Amino acid sequence: MTINQVMVIGAGQMGAGIAQVFAQAGLNVKMNDMSQDALDQGLAGIEKRLKRSVEKGKMTEEDQKATYGRLQTTTDLKDASDCDLVVEAVVENMDVKVSVFQQLDEITPSHAILATNTSSLPITEIAAATKRPEQVIGMHFMNPVPVMKLVEIIRAIQTSDETYQAIEDMTKKLEKTPVEVEDFPGFVSNRILMPMINEAIYTVHEGVASPEDVDAVMKLGMNHPMGPLTLADFIGLDTCLYIMEVLHEGFGDSKYRPCPLLRKYVKAGWLGKKSGRGFYTYD
């Protein structure tokens, strides 16, 4: 199938990056968010990153203008009526995602593929909420999207081979590497990453070491590019907590219980970099 027009729903840190890589690959992209502020900020972030690429000699000014020109913004979901592919990147909450998918099912053309960037929620359940479950799939980008090479592609039990193939081909067109995984809580990436982050938070909670020292151990001792607490702030502590809850509930195993300190920070509104405070503070 031919994919020309894409909509990305949610213009937060993931949605804006996803919209950027689609536009860079030559696709027309509509960015949707219920908040005009989020759209303005998302678009401004893309413009800044594209300009930096030109300054660094990684992109011509002509390409930058053409890429920027392929992006539109809208707060109206009905604008998905001419889209061949929609990638949803709203908050990690099943009720919100199901509501978005049910609306998309009514609005988009019957051939359209509906993909979700969920970090951990069951794709099978999201697919079952629509009348086209065979055209629903997980397309899980990594943060920061313009930099990270991986896209985890998650098949719902209902996903057709044709849908899978279209998304694998699209991932390659975006110059990313697809890895196919089954639909289990946290898939592969977050089943492994998030318990490490949660354990790092327990280490602070139990007074074993400060956030700075935990991060230093993992950066200098294990060569991780970011320490786990810096990474947790970068991902968003709310997103980390949602993912731990999905793992805990999905596997029914106490080894996935979210650290009480993580819960406390989220309750305080300390969500990491995006809110200005998490394990560290940000300007």
- Residues in contact with ligand NAD by CB under 6 A are 9-15, 32-35, 38, 89-92, 96, 100, 117-119, 141, 143, 235-236, 239, 274
Of 108-116, 127-135, 189-197, 201-209, the window that binds ligand CAA (rule: CB under 6 A) is 189-197
Position among 193, 201, 229, 244 found at the interface with ligand CAA (CB under 6 A): 193
175 catalytic, yes or no?
A: no
Identified catalytic residue from 28, 117, 190, 198:
190
Asked if 21 interacts with ligand CAA (CB under 6 A), we say no
Of residues 88, 95, 79, the one with CA closest to residue 12: 88
CA distance 114 to 197: 30
Residue type, 136: V
190 catalytic, yes or no?
A: yes
Residue number of the CB atom closest to ligand NAD: 12
Shortest spacing between CB 76 and ligand CAA, in angstroms: 27
Query: Is the bond into 144 cis (omega within 30 degrees of 0)?
Result: yes
Choose the contact partner of 189 out of ligand CAA, ligand NAD, none; CB within 5 to 8 A by kind: ligand CAA
Q: How many CB atoms lie within 10 A of CB 155?
A: 21
140 catalytic, yes or no?
A: yes
Identified catalytic residue from 28, 120, 140, 198:
140
13 belongs to an annotated ligand binding site? yes
Binding residues for NAD(+): 10-15, 33, 92, 97, 119, 143, 274
